[in-house]
Amino acid sequence: MAYVITSVFLILLGWIAGSAVERRHLRSLKKREVANARFLVTDLRQCYGHASDGAELIVAEVVIGSDYFKSFLAKIVNIFGGEVRSFQTLLTRGRREARLRVLELARDKGYDAIGNIRIDSAQIGSMNMPMACVLAWGTAYRRADHR
């Protein structure tokens, strides 16, 4: 009986705490995306417009872990089959965060554009506590035509 109560308590705690952390992170992402909206980002291999001298590879990585509630739901969905949306939001948050980190690193170094941006992800951890590792990289440059 104590095991069941402890398990339910941990699942509820994971749901409450995980939801709060996720909402706060999503608000932070939105705010930072608005702040970086004018930064030129493209996945084209060549620079947009004319690039001035001096380009640099910028790399950022993020590891985001799941909470107990999402892991519990994933196990249930795994039994019945279907789409695990909670893990999709985990990956989406990771991709957005990694992309923003690349932009912020480039801006801190004085660049105003990122070309050939790429994002890759991998699952790390176990099914008990899955985590997503997201790696983003791109070529930072200064636009010669930028005013």
Which pLDDT value is given to residue 95? 95
What does the pLDDT read at residue 98? 96
Each residue's pLDDT tens digit, 8-34: 888 788 788 888 988 999 999 999 999
Task: Report how far apart, in Å, the C-alpha atoms of 37 and of each of 40, 51, 74 are.
Answer: 8, 20, 34
Structure tokens at 101: 């980190």
Amino acid present at 85: R
Angle, helices 2-35 vs 85-108, to 10°: value is 40
Distance separating alpha carbons of residues 102 and 85, to the nearest angstrom = 26
Residue 100 confidence class, pLDDT cut points 50, 70, 90: very high
Q: How confident is the model at residue 4 (pLDDT cuts 50, 70, 90)?
A: confident
Nearest one of 118, 124, 49, 138 to 90, comparing CA atoms: 124
Q: What is the pLDDT of residue 52?
A: 65
Does residue 124 or residue 146 have the better pLDDT? 124
pLDDT tens digits for range 25-83: 999 999 999 999 888 888 887 766 666 667 899 999 999 887 777 777 777 877 887 77
Gap between the Cα atoms of 73 and 122, Å rounded? 20
Predicted TM-score (pTM) of the model is: 0.82
